[in-house]
Protein backbone atom coordinates (compact mmCIF):
# COMPACT_ATOMS: atom_id res chain seq x y z
CA UNK A 1 0.00 0.00 0.00
CA UNK A 2 1.26 3.46 -0.90
CA UNK A 3 2.03 5.67 2.10
CA UNK A 4 -0.35 8.31 0.77
CA UNK A 5 -3.20 5.82 1.20
CA UNK A 6 -2.66 5.63 4.97
CA UNK A 7 -5.81 6.99 6.57
CA UNK A 8 -6.06 8.22 10.15
CA UNK A 9 -9.18 8.74 12.22
CA UNK A 10 -9.97 10.64 15.38
CA UNK A 11 -11.13 7.78 17.55
CA UNK A 12 -13.68 8.58 20.24
CA UNK A 13 -12.69 7.10 23.62
CA UNK A 14 -13.90 7.15 27.23
CA UNK A 15 -11.46 7.96 30.03
CA UNK A 16 -11.76 5.07 32.54
CA UNK A 17 -10.07 7.10 35.30
CA UNK A 18 -12.86 9.64 35.58
CA UNK A 19 -15.85 7.68 34.23
CA UNK A 20 -18.31 6.95 37.04
CA UNK A 21 -20.15 4.23 35.08
CA UNK A 22 -23.48 6.06 35.18
CA UNK A 23 -24.63 4.61 31.80
CA UNK A 24 -25.71 8.02 30.47
CA UNK A 25 -23.55 7.75 27.35
CA UNK A 26 -24.75 4.27 26.41
CA UNK A 27 -28.38 5.27 26.91
CA UNK A 28 -27.93 8.41 24.82
CA UNK A 29 -25.97 7.03 21.85
CA UNK A 30 -28.36 6.83 18.87
CA UNK A 31 -26.28 4.21 16.99
CA UNK A 32 -25.47 1.82 19.86
CA UNK A 33 -21.75 2.51 19.54
CA UNK A 34 -21.20 2.50 23.31
CA UNK A 35 -21.20 -0.63 25.42
CA UNK A 36 -19.71 -1.81 28.71
CA UNK A 37 -18.52 -4.75 30.75
CA UNK A 38 -17.86 -5.01 34.47
CA UNK A 39 -14.75 -2.85 34.08
CA UNK A 40 -15.21 -0.10 31.48
CA UNK A 41 -17.54 1.78 29.18
CA UNK A 42 -16.12 1.78 25.65
CA UNK A 43 -16.82 3.13 22.14
CA UNK A 44 -16.89 0.96 19.01
CA UNK A 45 -14.95 2.82 16.30
CA UNK A 46 -16.78 0.86 13.58
CA UNK A 47 -20.14 2.23 14.76
CA UNK A 48 -19.38 5.69 16.13
CA UNK A 49 -20.32 8.42 13.63
CA UNK A 50 -19.08 11.35 15.76
CA UNK A 51 -22.60 12.72 16.19
CA UNK A 52 -21.61 14.07 19.67
CA UNK A 53 -24.99 13.19 21.20
CA UNK A 54 -23.26 11.51 24.15
CA UNK A 55 -20.94 14.40 25.04
CA UNK A 56 -23.23 17.02 26.67
CA UNK A 57 -25.04 14.62 29.06
CA UNK A 58 -21.83 13.12 30.52
CA UNK A 59 -21.53 14.42 34.10
CA UNK A 60 -17.74 14.02 34.34
CA UNK A 61 -16.40 14.84 30.87
CA UNK A 62 -14.92 11.35 30.58
CA UNK A 63 -16.69 10.89 27.23
CA UNK A 64 -14.96 13.89 25.64
CA UNK A 65 -11.69 12.24 24.67
CA UNK A 66 -10.12 11.59 21.26
CA UNK A 67 -6.99 9.96 19.86
CA UNK A 68 -5.67 10.18 16.30
CA UNK A 69 -4.88 6.64 15.21
CA UNK A 70 -4.36 4.73 11.98
CA UNK A 71 -7.72 3.55 10.70
CA UNK A 72 -6.44 -0.02 10.49
CA UNK A 73 -5.10 0.16 14.05
CA UNK A 74 -8.10 1.65 15.84
CA UNK A 75 -8.34 0.52 19.46
CA UNK A 76 -10.56 -2.55 19.71
CA UNK A 77 -13.30 -3.07 22.28
CA UNK A 78 -11.21 -5.80 23.92
CA UNK A 79 -8.30 -3.39 24.35
CA UNK A 80 -10.53 -0.69 25.82
CA UNK A 81 -12.20 -3.10 28.25
CA UNK A 82 -8.80 -3.75 29.80
CA UNK A 83 -7.73 -0.11 30.22
CA UNK A 84 -7.10 1.50 33.58
CA UNK A 85 -6.22 4.82 31.89
CA UNK A 86 -6.26 6.29 28.39
CA UNK A 87 -3.27 5.60 26.13
CA UNK A 88 -0.96 8.51 25.45
CA UNK A 89 -1.71 10.47 22.29
CA UNK A 90 0.63 9.78 19.38
CA UNK A 91 3.13 12.58 18.75
CA UNK A 92 3.40 14.32 15.38
CA UNK A 93 6.62 12.40 14.76
CA UNK A 94 4.92 9.07 15.46
CA UNK A 95 2.02 9.94 13.15
CA UNK A 96 4.42 11.01 10.41
CA UNK A 97 6.39 7.79 10.82
CA UNK A 98 3.20 5.73 10.54
CA UNK A 99 2.33 7.65 7.37
CA UNK A 100 5.76 6.94 5.89
CA UNK A 101 6.53 10.60 5.55
CA UNK A 102 3.35 11.39 3.62
CA UNK A 103 0.91 14.04 4.74
CA UNK A 104 -1.34 12.68 7.47
CA UNK A 105 -4.93 12.56 6.20
CA UNK A 106 -7.43 12.35 9.06
CA UNK A 107 -10.91 11.11 8.20
CA UNK A 108 -13.77 13.18 9.51
CA UNK A 109 -15.50 10.00 10.61
CA UNK A 110 -14.48 6.36 11.09
CA UNK A 111 -14.33 4.41 7.85
CA UNK A 112 -17.24 2.11 8.59
CA UNK A 113 -20.74 3.36 8.10
CA UNK A 114 -22.67 3.92 11.33
CA UNK A 115 -25.04 1.14 12.32
CA UNK A 116 -28.64 2.26 12.02
CA UNK A 117 -30.67 2.24 15.19
CA UNK A 118 -33.64 0.87 13.21
CA UNK A 119 -34.53 -0.50 9.83
CA UNK A 120 -35.46 2.02 7.09
CA UNK A 121 -39.10 3.01 7.29
CA UNK A 122 -39.53 1.67 10.82
CA UNK A 123 -40.68 4.17 13.42
CA UNK A 124 -38.76 3.82 16.67
CA UNK A 125 -39.52 5.89 19.74
CA UNK A 126 -36.41 6.84 21.71
CA UNK A 127 -37.15 8.51 25.02
CA UNK A 128 -33.53 9.70 25.28
CA UNK A 129 -34.11 11.94 22.25
CA UNK A 130 -36.25 14.24 24.40
CA UNK A 131 -34.03 14.54 27.48
CA UNK A 132 -32.58 18.00 28.05
CA UNK A 133 -28.86 18.58 28.48
CA UNK A 134 -29.32 22.21 29.54
CA UNK A 135 -30.70 23.21 32.95
CA UNK A 136 -33.79 25.42 33.33
CA UNK A 137 -33.00 29.08 32.72
CA UNK A 138 -33.47 30.04 36.37
CA UNK A 139 -31.36 27.21 37.83
CA UNK A 140 -28.53 28.14 40.17
CA UNK A 141 -24.94 27.73 38.98
CA UNK A 142 -23.63 24.22 39.60
CA UNK A 143 -20.03 23.42 40.55
CA UNK A 144 -18.77 20.15 39.10
CA UNK A 145 -15.68 17.90 39.20
CA UNK A 146 -14.11 19.69 42.16
CA UNK A 147 -12.64 16.42 43.43
CA UNK A 148 -11.60 13.42 41.37
CA UNK A 149 -8.70 11.55 39.76
CA UNK A 150 -7.94 14.41 37.34
CA UNK A 151 -9.09 17.32 39.49
CA UNK A 152 -6.64 19.46 41.53
CA UNK A 153 -7.71 17.46 44.60
CA UNK A 154 -8.06 13.70 43.99
CA UNK A 155 -10.77 13.08 46.59
CA UNK A 156 -11.94 14.22 49.97
CA UNK A 157 -12.96 12.43 53.12
CA UNK A 158 -16.45 12.79 54.57
CA UNK A 159 -17.61 11.66 58.00
CA UNK A 160 -20.81 9.68 58.45
CA UNK A 161 -23.09 11.57 60.82
CA UNK A 162 -26.27 9.59 60.21
CA UNK A 163 -27.43 6.26 58.79
CA UNK A 164 -31.09 5.28 59.17
CA UNK A 165 -33.30 2.83 57.32
CA UNK A 166 -36.14 4.54 55.43
CA UNK A 167 -38.09 1.47 54.30
CA UNK A 168 -40.01 -1.07 56.34
CA UNK A 169 -38.80 -4.19 54.55
CA UNK A 170 -36.37 -6.70 55.99
CA UNK A 171 -32.64 -6.17 56.27
CA UNK A 172 -31.78 -7.83 52.96
CA UNK A 173 -33.42 -5.19 50.78
CA UNK A 174 -33.46 -2.16 53.04
CA UNK A 175 -32.96 1.41 51.83
CA UNK A 176 -30.87 3.80 53.91
CA UNK A 177 -30.73 7.56 54.35
CA UNK A 178 -27.06 8.37 54.92
CA UNK A 179 -25.71 11.76 55.99
CA UNK A 180 -22.13 12.77 55.17
CA UNK A 181 -20.38 15.79 56.69
CA UNK A 182 -17.44 17.57 55.03
CA UNK A 183 -16.34 19.74 57.94
CA UNK A 184 -14.70 22.89 56.59
CA UNK A 185 -13.78 21.47 53.17
CA UNK A 186 -15.71 23.22 50.37
CA UNK A 187 -18.22 20.89 48.71
CA UNK A 188 -21.12 22.93 47.27
CA UNK A 189 -23.99 20.91 45.81
CA UNK A 190 -27.40 21.70 44.36
CA UNK A 191 -30.60 19.70 44.18
CA UNK A 192 -30.32 17.27 41.26
CA UNK A 193 -26.55 16.83 41.45
CA UNK A 194 -24.77 13.63 42.37
CA UNK A 195 -21.56 12.51 44.02
CA UNK A 196 -19.52 9.33 43.78
CA UNK A 197 -18.32 7.10 46.58
CA UNK A 198 -15.05 5.20 46.25
CA UNK A 199 -15.44 1.86 48.06
CA UNK A 200 -12.32 0.72 49.90
CA UNK A 201 -10.39 -2.38 48.91
CA UNK A 202 -9.72 -4.13 45.62
CA UNK A 203 -11.87 -5.97 43.10
CA UNK A 204 -11.43 -9.57 41.95
CA UNK A 205 -8.60 -8.54 39.61
CA UNK A 206 -6.70 -6.77 42.37
CA UNK A 207 -7.62 -3.27 41.15
CA UNK A 208 -9.18 -0.46 43.21
CA UNK A 209 -12.96 -0.38 43.01
CA UNK A 210 -14.53 2.06 40.60
CA UNK A 211 -16.49 4.97 42.11
CA UNK A 212 -20.27 4.51 42.43
CA UNK A 213 -22.60 7.41 41.70
CA UNK A 214 -25.46 8.49 44.00
CA UNK A 215 -27.90 11.38 43.70
CA UNK A 216 -27.90 13.92 46.50
CA UNK A 217 -31.09 13.71 48.57
CA UNK A 218 -30.72 16.97 50.52
CA UNK A 219 -31.16 20.63 49.54
CA UNK A 220 -28.37 23.10 48.84
CA UNK A 221 -28.03 24.29 52.43
CA UNK A 222 -27.47 20.81 53.77
CA UNK A 223 -29.41 17.94 55.29
CA UNK A 224 -29.01 19.88 58.51
CA UNK A 225 -29.54 23.51 57.46
CA UNK A 226 -26.46 25.66 57.72
CA UNK A 227 -24.03 22.73 57.92
CA UNK A 228 -21.61 21.47 55.29
CA UNK A 229 -23.33 18.13 54.85
CA UNK A 230 -25.54 16.21 52.47
CA UNK A 231 -27.62 13.05 52.39
CA UNK A 232 -27.89 10.07 50.05
CA UNK A 233 -30.63 7.49 49.48
CA UNK A 234 -29.06 4.05 48.97
CA UNK A 235 -30.71 0.66 48.50
CA UNK A 236 -28.79 -2.46 49.44
CA UNK A 237 -28.17 -4.43 46.23
CA UNK A 238 -28.27 -8.23 46.44
CA UNK A 239 -29.20 -9.12 42.86
CA UNK A 240 -28.56 -7.72 39.39
CA UNK A 241 -31.18 -6.58 36.88
CA UNK A 242 -31.60 -10.18 35.68
CA UNK A 243 -32.31 -11.38 39.22
CA UNK A 244 -28.99 -13.16 39.64
CA UNK A 245 -27.50 -13.06 43.15
CA UNK A 246 -24.83 -10.40 43.51
CA UNK A 247 -23.68 -8.37 46.47
CA UNK A 248 -23.37 -4.73 45.46
CA UNK A 249 -19.94 -3.53 46.54
CA UNK A 250 -20.75 0.12 47.21
CA UNK A 251 -24.39 -0.22 48.29
CA UNK A 252 -23.65 -2.79 50.99
CA UNK A 253 -20.55 -0.89 52.11
CA UNK A 254 -22.60 2.30 52.49
CA UNK A 255 -25.62 0.69 54.15
CA UNK A 256 -23.36 -0.92 56.77
CA UNK A 257 -21.52 2.30 57.73
CA UNK A 258 -21.64 3.52 61.31
CA UNK A 259 -21.69 7.09 62.61
CA UNK A 260 -18.10 8.33 62.73
CA UNK A 261 -16.89 6.20 59.81
CA UNK A 262 -14.93 7.93 57.03
CA UNK A 263 -15.87 7.80 53.35
CA UNK A 264 -13.88 8.77 50.23
CA UNK A 265 -15.91 11.05 47.95
CA UNK A 266 -15.40 12.58 44.48
CA UNK A 267 -17.53 15.05 42.54
CA UNK A 268 -19.94 16.74 42.56
CA UNK A 269 -21.40 15.87 39.16
CA UNK A 270 -24.24 17.11 37.02
CA UNK A 271 -25.04 20.52 35.55
CA UNK A 272 -28.42 19.98 33.89
CA UNK A 273 -30.76 17.98 36.20
CA UNK A 274 -31.27 21.14 38.27
CA UNK A 275 -34.45 22.67 39.62
CA UNK A 276 -35.81 26.02 38.43
CA UNK A 277 -35.73 28.84 40.95
CA UNK A 278 -38.13 31.49 39.63
CA UNK A 279 -41.38 31.86 41.62
CA UNK A 280 -43.69 30.90 38.74
CA UNK A 281 -41.94 27.57 38.15
CA UNK A 282 -43.83 24.30 38.49
CA UNK A 283 -42.02 21.01 39.10
CA UNK A 284 -43.34 17.59 38.04
CA UNK A 285 -41.30 14.78 39.64
CA UNK A 286 -41.62 11.20 38.38
CA UNK A 287 -39.56 8.54 40.10
CA UNK A 288 -39.21 5.00 41.40
CA UNK A 289 -37.29 3.68 44.39
CA UNK A 290 -34.06 5.51 45.15
CA UNK A 291 -34.76 7.72 42.15
CA UNK A 292 -36.64 9.70 44.78
CA UNK A 293 -33.34 11.17 46.06
CA UNK A 294 -33.19 14.29 43.84
CA UNK A 295 -36.96 14.72 44.21
CA UNK A 296 -36.61 14.76 47.98
CA UNK A 297 -33.90 17.42 47.64
CA UNK A 298 -36.08 19.63 45.45
CA UNK A 299 -39.14 19.16 47.63
CA UNK A 300 -37.24 19.95 50.82
CA UNK A 301 -35.71 23.10 49.35
CA UNK A 302 -39.16 24.31 48.31
CA UNK A 303 -40.51 23.40 51.74
CA UNK A 304 -37.82 25.43 53.49
CA UNK A 305 -38.39 28.40 51.20
CA UNK A 306 -42.12 28.26 51.85
CA UNK A 307 -41.55 27.95 55.59
CA UNK A 308 -39.36 31.06 55.52
CA UNK A 309 -41.90 32.99 53.47
CA UNK A 310 -39.42 33.46 50.59
CA UNK A 311 -41.28 31.51 47.91
CA UNK A 312 -44.79 31.99 46.58
CA UNK A 313 -46.43 30.08 43.78
CA UNK A 314 -45.31 27.13 41.70
CA UNK A 315 -46.91 23.69 41.86
CA UNK A 316 -45.19 20.50 42.99
CA UNK A 317 -46.49 17.20 41.57
CA UNK A 318 -44.91 13.90 42.59
CA UNK A 319 -45.52 10.54 40.88
CA UNK A 320 -43.70 7.95 42.98
CA UNK A 321 -43.63 4.21 42.30
CA UNK A 322 -42.55 1.15 44.26
CA UNK A 323 -43.56 -2.48 44.59
CA UNK A 324 -45.37 -1.86 47.88
CA UNK A 325 -45.77 0.86 50.54
CA UNK A 326 -43.24 -1.01 52.67
CA UNK A 327 -40.58 -0.62 49.97
CA UNK A 328 -41.27 3.06 49.30
CA UNK A 329 -38.48 5.24 50.75
CA UNK A 330 -39.67 8.08 52.99
CA UNK A 331 -43.26 6.77 52.93
CA UNK A 332 -43.98 8.12 56.44
CA UNK A 333 -42.55 11.65 55.93
CA UNK A 334 -44.34 11.94 52.59
CA UNK A 335 -47.71 11.46 54.28
CA UNK A 336 -47.01 14.41 56.57
CA UNK A 337 -46.40 16.97 53.81
CA UNK A 338 -49.31 19.44 53.43
CA UNK A 339 -51.52 18.65 50.44
CA UNK A 340 -51.62 22.31 49.47
CA UNK A 341 -47.83 22.12 49.17
CA UNK A 342 -47.36 18.93 47.12
CA UNK A 343 -49.71 16.91 44.93
CA UNK A 344 -48.79 13.33 45.87
CA UNK A 345 -49.51 10.34 43.60
CA UNK A 346 -48.24 6.89 44.67
CA UNK A 347 -48.18 3.77 42.49
CA UNK A 348 -47.65 0.22 43.80
CA UNK A 349 -47.08 -2.75 41.52
CA UNK A 350 -46.92 -5.69 43.96
CA UNK A 351 -49.71 -5.27 46.50
CA UNK A 352 -51.64 -8.50 47.14
CA UNK A 353 -55.21 -8.39 45.85
CA UNK A 354 -54.70 -5.13 43.94
CA UNK A 355 -53.95 -4.54 40.26
CA UNK A 356 -50.45 -3.52 39.27
CA UNK A 357 -50.10 0.22 38.94
CA UNK A 358 -47.09 2.13 37.63
CA UNK A 359 -46.23 5.81 37.59
CA UNK A 360 -47.28 6.13 33.95
CA UNK A 361 -50.74 4.80 34.89
CA UNK A 362 -51.13 7.58 37.45
CA UNK A 363 -49.88 10.12 34.93
CA UNK A 364 -52.58 9.11 32.45
CA UNK A 365 -55.18 9.48 35.19
CA UNK A 366 -53.96 13.05 35.70
CA UNK A 367 -53.82 13.78 31.98
CA UNK A 368 -55.73 17.06 32.15
CA UNK A 369 -53.39 18.52 34.78
CA UNK A 370 -50.26 17.29 33.02
CA UNK A 371 -51.42 18.54 29.61
CA UNK A 372 -51.79 22.03 31.06
CA UNK A 373 -48.30 21.83 32.55
CA UNK A 374 -46.79 20.52 29.32
CA UNK A 375 -48.13 23.62 27.62
CA UNK A 376 -46.81 25.90 30.37
CA UNK A 377 -43.24 27.13 29.69
CA UNK A 378 -42.73 27.55 33.45
CA UNK A 379 -43.21 23.81 34.14
CA UNK A 380 -40.26 21.41 34.30
CA UNK A 381 -40.41 17.61 34.33
CA UNK A 382 -37.88 15.34 36.09
CA UNK A 383 -37.68 11.55 35.65
CA UNK A 384 -35.39 9.45 37.84
CA UNK A 385 -35.27 5.73 38.59
CA UNK A 386 -34.72 2.45 36.80
CA UNK A 387 -34.05 2.65 33.05
CA UNK A 388 -37.06 0.43 32.36
CA UNK A 389 -39.46 3.20 33.44
CA UNK A 390 -38.11 5.93 31.17
CA UNK A 391 -39.71 5.00 27.88
CA UNK A 392 -43.13 4.39 29.45
CA UNK A 393 -43.05 7.77 31.18
CA UNK A 394 -42.06 9.74 28.08
CA UNK A 395 -44.60 7.83 25.99
CA UNK A 396 -47.26 8.78 28.54
CA UNK A 397 -46.27 12.44 28.21
CA UNK A 398 -46.48 12.14 24.43
CA UNK A 399 -49.91 10.51 24.53
CA UNK A 400 -51.20 13.10 26.99
CA UNK A 401 -49.97 15.92 24.77
CA UNK A 402 -51.44 14.41 21.59
CA UNK A 403 -54.80 13.76 23.25
CA UNK A 404 -54.88 17.41 24.28
CA UNK A 405 -54.33 18.51 20.67
CA UNK A 406 -50.68 19.48 21.11
CA UNK A 407 -48.01 18.89 18.45
CA UNK A 408 -45.75 16.42 20.25
CA UNK A 409 -42.78 16.74 17.92
CA UNK A 410 -42.72 20.52 18.37
CA UNK A 411 -43.42 20.22 22.09
CA UNK A 412 -40.86 17.44 22.62
CA UNK A 413 -38.19 19.50 20.88
CA UNK A 414 -39.07 22.51 23.04
CA UNK A 415 -38.95 20.46 26.25
CA UNK A 416 -35.41 19.42 25.36
CA UNK A 417 -34.25 22.79 24.01
CA UNK A 418 -35.59 24.79 26.96
CA UNK A 419 -34.28 22.47 29.67
CA UNK A 420 -37.78 21.39 30.74
CA UNK A 421 -37.61 17.57 30.52
CA UNK A 422 -34.79 15.84 32.37
CA UNK A 423 -34.12 12.10 32.33
CA UNK A 424 -31.79 10.42 34.80
CA UNK A 425 -32.28 6.68 34.78
CA UNK A 426 -29.92 3.78 35.41
280 pLDDT higher than 60: yes
pLDDT in tens, 197-231: 999 999 888 889 999 999 999 999 999 998 999 99
CATH topology of domain 128-140+272-425: Rossmann fold (3.40.50)
Confidence (pLDDT) at 248: 86
Give me the phi and psi of 266, to 5 degrees please: -130, 165
Centroid of chain to Cα 338: 29
Using CA atoms, how far residue 96 sits from 62, 77, 86, 101, 415, in Å, is 28, 26, 21, 5, 47
Mean pLDDT of 267-272: 96
Average pLDDT over residues 329-340: 92
**In angstroms, rounded to a whole number, what is the distance separating the alpha carbons of residues 387 and 423?**
9
Task: Look at residue 241 in the predicted model and tell me its pLDDT.
Answer: 64
| pLDDT tens track for 91-147 | 877 777 766 665 655 655 543 333 333 344 445 788 988 999 999 999 999 999 999
pLDDT given for residue 177 in this prediction: 97
Q: What is the mean pLDDT of residues 183-195?
A: 97
Higher pLDDT, 204 or 291: 291
Q: Where are the domains of the chain?
A: 3-118, 128-140+272-425, 156-269
Name the more confident of 331 and 398.
Answer: 398
Q: What is the share, in percent, of the chain residues with pLDDT greater than 90?
A: 71
CATH number of 3-118: 3.30.70.20
Tens digits of residue pLDDT in 237-248? 877 666 778 788
**CA angle (269, 302, 392) in 5-degree steps:** 65
pLDDT greater than 90 at residue 38: no
Instruction: Give pLDDT, residue 392.
Output: 95
Q: Is 226 exposed, middle or buried (0-12, 13-18, 19+ CB in 10 A)?
A: exposed
In the sheet that holds 212-215, the strands lie side by side as 212-215, 194-197, 262-269, 156-165, 175-181, 229-235
Please report the pLDDT score of residue 108 as a whole number: 54
In the predicted structure, residue 5 carries a pLDDT above the cut 90:
no
pLDDT recorded at residue 339 = 92
Q: Which residues pair with residue 106 across a beta bridge?
A: 8
pLDDT of 292 strictly over 80: yes
Among 3-7, 190-194, 353-357, name the one with the lowest average pLDDT: 3-7
Give the confidence band of 2 by pLDDT, cuts at 50, 70, 90: very low
CA dihedral 297→301→307→313, nearest 10 degrees, is -110
For domain 156-269, give the fold: Elongation Factor Tu (Ef-tu); domain 3 (2.40.30)
Amino acid sequence: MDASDVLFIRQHLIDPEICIRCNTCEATCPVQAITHDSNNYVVDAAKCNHCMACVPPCPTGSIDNWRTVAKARAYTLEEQFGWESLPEALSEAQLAEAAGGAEVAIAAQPGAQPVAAFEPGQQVFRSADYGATLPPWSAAHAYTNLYGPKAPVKSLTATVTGNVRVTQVGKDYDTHHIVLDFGTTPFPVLEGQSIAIVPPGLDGQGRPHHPRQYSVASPRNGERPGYNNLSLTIKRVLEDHEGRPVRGVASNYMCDLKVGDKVEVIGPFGASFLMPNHPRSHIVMICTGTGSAPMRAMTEWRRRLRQSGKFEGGKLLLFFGARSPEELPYFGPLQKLPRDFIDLNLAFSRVAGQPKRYVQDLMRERAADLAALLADPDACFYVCGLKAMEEGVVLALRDIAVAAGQDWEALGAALQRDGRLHLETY
